Structures are given as structure tokens and as C-alpha cells.
Amino acid sequence: MRAMLLKKSSLLLTILMLSTTLFGCAVGTTRSRGLEEAGANKLIVELENGQKISEIEKILGNVNIAQLQGGRYIISSNDSEEELEQRLSAMKGIRRIQKPRNIGIIRPITKIKVGKDFIIDNLSQTNDIEANDPGVKSQWAVSYTNANHVWPLVEQKETIYVAIVDTGVDYTHPDLKNRVDLGKGYDFINNDSDPMDDNGHGTHISGIIAAEMNNGEGIVGVAGTLDVRIIPIKVLDSEGYGQSDIVAKGIEYAVDQGANIINLSLGGPGEDVDIANAVRYASEKGVLVVAASGNDNQNSDSYTPAGLENVYTVGAINPLKTKARFSNYGNSVEAVAPGVKILSAVPGNQYEAWDGTSMAAPVVSGIASIMLAQKPDIDVDELVAILNESAEDILEEGKDQKSGYGLPNAEKAWQLLTGEETPPAEEEAMYNSLQEAIGAASKLKIQQNDVNSLMVSSNNTDSGSERRSELSDLIEEGSKYKEENEEQIVEWKKEFKENQEINKQYMQEIYEGLKTLKPLLEQFQDGYKQGALELTSKELNQIQQEIEKLESYQAYVKTRSEERQKMWDEMAQMFSEGNYEEAMAMFPDILEAQKALTKNLELLLNEINELTKLFEGVLD
């Protein structure tokens, strides 16, 4: 996967007294299988000089001991921490390593309750998912990854198991009751076989992956109709908190229960040897481990489990296909997936839309489960290579720190996996949809005044005062307020202006390109109607796909232009009200939106040129 292994810290050789801020959560009271009741003091140790753990247990007496990966043991006792330390220090052949670390879920940024209509504000309600589940209209994560295009093509070989190592799962939920393998689950918090979710996080993740399709309830999972089962493993309590040794045991347990994929939407900054060892154990057993990058807008390379070797780390994007503001970044990020307004199940037979990389990771877990359903014996490294190679490159060319290899595309991944193309439509259906696509493409308009007006400007007024939108004016006011940012402001202004000029050039080229393409579209349409063109289904399918790309890129350009302008207006309003610091804080996001617009203008221009060549060849 990637050769980025967290360095072992010498601090692990000493007693680690970890603060609750290390993983952004409070201490949770937990029990591992075979350990004493919640509240027992625990230490993680290694043995030296051939010492046997059975001898240690005899000498210590009232303790319980559980083994971890890497020859490490958890010693649990009802003695006070000081008493346990004194007893251990008096023994030979035993070395204390650390106390278990505090760990928690990667908490959602926002949660939106949805009504029976499943409508989510400011989210498109149209996609091409065909199902009788009422919430599918708001499931942009499924359509953006083309998962629904692959469901009918998969020839499933065996049941695929995805372990959700989290807060448990509400296995009574209507969309999950037939998708959870309760017999394989376990609750490491209460030390029993009932991993019921009393938080909601694990249920939401499970629904994203495997919510039952065509049951007339709620939503569909990314795995659609395929036989993908959830293994619920509860390692975090009702507040979403737990300890690293329990998480490690949960990961190992998932492997031993036959999980094909383990989803880890938990963790935080810092390293943990036990979790690293457990992940390594999973990798050695051929299990794909998918982790959320984190919601701190920080580098995830130093996070656990996101920064570990043998983990497929996923960041989050918004519907504009730009990095979600909260999403972590770094060399550890392999891919990004939808992570804003992601609709899924929550306990109590309800549904909510959440934001977070915790929601993005299970999208990838779901896509991976589709691939494994088709080819369960595929090597994990080969599966990862297919996911990366087939991903849509959405930001910088090639792998980058914000989006990794890009947005996973289930359809392209399936084609790489099987060596087959998705089948073309029947001739009549092809003709009808092609005519519709050509008609829509013929309406594509970019006028010269659109090119000339690309530079940001606004004469809107608010509260009776003119809102100035010239960049130099706005930033000048900000620089007066915060002179220490002057160097950064100058750099922003320069970068923004250069990017504007690039965008304007792209718009001019698009304008010229459409003047060449449209007559070819009309000529092709007339020739096809009259039967003067002899084309194969494959050629027709290619033309339709390219036209659909043209439409989608045009839509992206429009959406991102509107998004950028909306952000600009908000910033201008803040400046006009004297909120300079808030306004200045928005500018990096505006610059990011501007760059995203550039990327989409480039894609639109390339598609216009590609279609022009295609039609010239067909009409020659």
C-alpha cells in the first residue's frame, strides 16, 4: 500500500500518562474479553529473558491477563495503579510499556435529521439509482461512485463480511436487520455477545455500506443487492469513547471471525503500537483495513490508525468534488469519498445525514465489498491497486495529499477487475437516450459576455450600503486590520489573480471550441435520424458516454461557479460589516474553490475537444 510506517517512539519504553486531548476524547470505562470489570487498572507489558506469562499470573495472583499481538500482554487488576506498579517493579523478566490509550470515534461535524420525504436542503434530489427505497434520491455518495451501475453485473461467489469496529450496530433497524451477522459480533465494552449500538455512529456507518435495497424502507447501501454482511464489534461506549487495547482486540477478533474488510472510523493524533500490531495482523491474514483520515483539517500521517502502513485511508469530499473543509490530508490519504450530508440509518428506526470522514470511509468499504463479491480470492494489494487506478482524479494530477488517487469509481474498478466493459444498451433504448443527450448537449451555451464577466464582481447591496467585491479593495481593508498577515495576503492576491487569468483563458477556449462542436452535433443528429450513418452499438455507446461527460462537466462548472460566488459574497458582506478576521479566514476556501473551478473548466475543454475529434472521425 504505502511505505509510510510510523516511527516507534522511545516514550513507549516508559510509562505513558496520556491526556484526554491526545485522541480528542474523554476516558471511557471498558473491558476486554477475559478482563476484570470496568474500572480495573490496566498495564501493557512485555516479557524478557524467557519469562512465561503463566508464571507471572501465578505470582501476581488477583489479576487477569489477555494477550495482544506482538508478544504483548494486558495485565488487569483491581489493585490501585500504584500497588500494581509496585508489584510489577519487584519482578524480574517483565517490562512495563504503557497504559492503554484513550481513543474515540471520529465525530461527525454536523448531523441533520431528515423527515419522511428524505429531502436534505441544498442537496440535489436527482440521480440514476433505481430502487423503491424512498431515501435514494438523496444518496449522492452511491451515484457519484457509480456503485449502482455495477450491482447487476456482479456474479457473486460468496458472502462478503465487513467488520464495523466501532460503537456497535442497531441490528433491529429495518434497513439492517437482514444485513447483520449477529452470531459473529461481540461487545468488548460489556463483555457479552450483544453488540447493540447505544451511540449511533456504528449504525450510521453500517447503513452506508449495507442498508437493505428494495425493501421500501429508507435507503440503499453502497453494496446494493449483493450479499454483504456486517460483523458488529463494539469497542467504544455510548459516548463514543474507548481504549486502544480494546480497539486492538476488536480488530484481531474481526480477523478471526472471517472479516474480509475492517472499517475503522475512529482514532486520532499520535501512535499506538497495539493498534499498529493488530492492523499488521489483519494485513498478514489478507484483510483490507479501511480507515477515516480524521476531521481536524490536519495532516493524518501522524494519526492512528489513519497514518499506519497497511491501512487504506480515506478523506472526505463535498458534492462539488473538492476537499471537505474538515477533512484531514497527507501522504497517508489513498482516496477521498463523499463525506458531506451522507444519509444513513441511526438507532430508533430513524435516518440522519452526517458530515465526516467517518462517513467517507464506509463508502470505500462498500465499493471494496462489491469487488470482493466478484472475486473473493483477490490479493489485498491487487484490490488496492485496482481501487487507485480506477479512481477519478479530481484535484491535482496524480496522487496528491488532499485527495490521494481521487474518487473511487466502482464501474471502472469492476472493468479492471474483470477485464470486461459494461454492456451497451439495446439499440432502441440507445437511440432514444442518444437523441436526448444530443439535444441536451446542443443547448450548451457559453457566450462571449460569460467569458468577459468571469472576473469576480458584484454590485449587490446589503443593509443599504454597497458591497465592494474588488479583490484589492477587500484585502486592503483586511490588511489594515491585521498587518501581520500582509505577506500571506500578497501571496493570496497573486495566486488568485493568476488563477483568474487561467480560468478566463479556459472560458475563451471553451467558447471557441463550442462554436466548432455544435455544427458537428447537428450534422451527426441529422445523419443519424436519416439512417445515413452506419455505427456499431459500441460506437453509439462511446458517443453517448462522451456527451454525458460533457453535460456533467458543464454542470460541475456551473455549480462550482455559483459556490465560489456565494462564498465571495459572504466574505464581502463580512468585510462590509467590519468582521475582517472572519472574512480573512474564508479566503483560503475561496481560493480552493477557484482552483476547483479551474480543474472543471479544464475537464470541460478537454471533453469538447475529445467530442469534436470523435464526431469529425464519424462524419468523415
Quick one: CA torsion of 250, 254, 260, 266, rounded to 10 degrees?
-10
184 vs 582, higher pLDDT: 184
Give the number of residues written for the chain: 620
Looking up cell 487561467, which residue turns up?
502
Q: What is the pLDDT of residue 174?
A: 95
Q: Stretch 383-394: mean pLDDT, rounded?
A: 94
Most confident region among 213-217, 310-314, 496-500 by mean pLDDT: 310-314
Residue 36 pLDDT exceeds 50: no
CB-based contact 104:266 (threshold 8 Å): yes
> CA 590 from chain center: how many Å?
22
Q: What is the pLDDT of residue 66?
A: 72
Residue 216: burial class (beta carbons within 10 Å; 0-12, 13-18, 19+): exposed
Q: What is the pLDDT of residue 166?
A: 95
- Using CA atoms, how far apart are residues 76 and 32, in angstroms rounded to an integer? 10
CB-based contact 548:437 (threshold 8 Å): yes
- Label residue 220 by pLDDT band (50, 70, 90): very high
pLDDT for 396-438, tens place per residue?
888 999 999 999 999 999 999 988 765 544 444 444 444 454 5
Active site residue 166: yes
Q: Stretch 449-475: mean pLDDT, rounded?
A: 41
Least confident of 94-98, 102-106, 599-603: 94-98
Residue 336 φ/ψ, nearest 5 degrees: -130, 155
Give the SS3 label for residue 210.
Answer: helix
Q: What is the pLDDT of residue 376?
A: 95
Q: Across the strands, what pairs with 161?
A: 229
* C-alpha closest to that of 476 among 465, 486, 467, 484: 486
Q: Stretch 82-87: mean pLDDT, rounded?
A: 67
Q: What is the pLDDT of residue 500?
A: 79
**Could you give all domains of the chain from N- to C-terminal order, each with its CATH number?**
10-100 (3.30.70), 111-418 (3.40.50.200), 427-619 (no CATH)
Residue 276: burial class (beta carbons within 10 Å; 0-12, 13-18, 19+): buried
544 vs 217, higher pLDDT: 217
* C-alpha closest to that of 209 among 188, 231, 192: 231
- Using CA atoms, how far apart are residues 185 and 196, in angstroms rounded to an integer? 10
- Label residue 466 by pLDDT band (50, 70, 90): very low
Q: Stretch 204-209: mean pLDDT, rounded?
A: 98
Helices 537-576 & 427-442, crossing angle to 10 degrees?
Answer: 40
- Label residue 171 by pLDDT band (50, 70, 90): very high
Q: How many C-beta atoms lie closer than 10 Å to residue 108's C-beta?
A: 23
609 vs 466, higher pLDDT: 609
Residue 4 pLDDT exceeds 50: no
Q: Stretch 253-259: mean pLDDT, rounded?
A: 96
pLDDT for 61-72, tens place per residue?
677 777 666 566
Q: Stretch 121-126: mean pLDDT, rounded?
A: 72
Report the chain's mean pLDDT, rounded to a whole number: 77
336 vs 509, higher pLDDT: 336
Catalytic residue among 149, 173, 201, 204: 201
Q: What is the DSSP string of 342-361?
A: EEEEETTTEEEEE-SHHHHH
Q: For 405, what's the count of Cα atoms within 13 Å in the CB-facing half-sphere? A: 16
Q: Stretch 304-333: mean pLDDT, rounded?
A: 93
- Label residue 159 by pLDDT band (50, 70, 90): very high
Q: What is the pLDDT of residue 356?
A: 94
Percentage, residues of the chain above pLDDT 70: 71
Q: What is the pLDDT of residue 179?
A: 96
Q: What is the pLDDT of residue 100?
A: 58
Residue 167 pLDDT exceeds 80: yes
- Using CA atoms, how far apart are residues 278 and 255, in angstroms rounded to an integer? 9
- Using CA atoms, how far apart are residues 76 and 72, in angstroms rounded to an integer? 13
C-alpha cell at 530: 436519416
- Burial 404-413, CB ≥16 within 10 A → b, else e: bbbbbbbbbb
CA 549, 552, 557, 560 dihedral sign is: negative
Residue 353 pLDDT exceeds 90: yes
Active site residue 369: no
Least confident of 8-12, 135-139, 318-322, 465-469: 8-12
- Label residue 46 by pLDDT band (50, 70, 90): low
Q: What is the pLDDT of residue 555?
A: 75
Q: What is the pLDDT of residue 206?
A: 98
pLDDT for 552-610, tens place per residue?
777 777 777 777 778 878 877 877 777 777 777 787 888 888 888 888 888 888 888 88
206 vs 484, higher pLDDT: 206
Catalytic residue among 32, 138, 358, 369: 358
Q: How many C-beta atoms lie closer than 10 Å to residue 325's C-beta?
A: 15
Write the CB contacts of 309 (distance below 8 Å, at least 6 apart in sequence). Answer: 1, 2, 3, 4, 5, 6, 280
Q: Stretch 194-207: mean pLDDT, rounded?
A: 96
C-alpha cell at 446: 457559453
- Using CA atoms, how far apart are residues 543 and 169, in angstroms rounded to an integer? 45
Residue 494 pLDDT exceeds 70: yes
Least confident of 116-120, 267-271, 424-428, 456-460: 456-460
Write the CB contacts of 396 (distance below 8 Å, at least 6 apart in sequence). Answer: 402, 403
Q: What is the pLDDT of residue 222?
A: 97
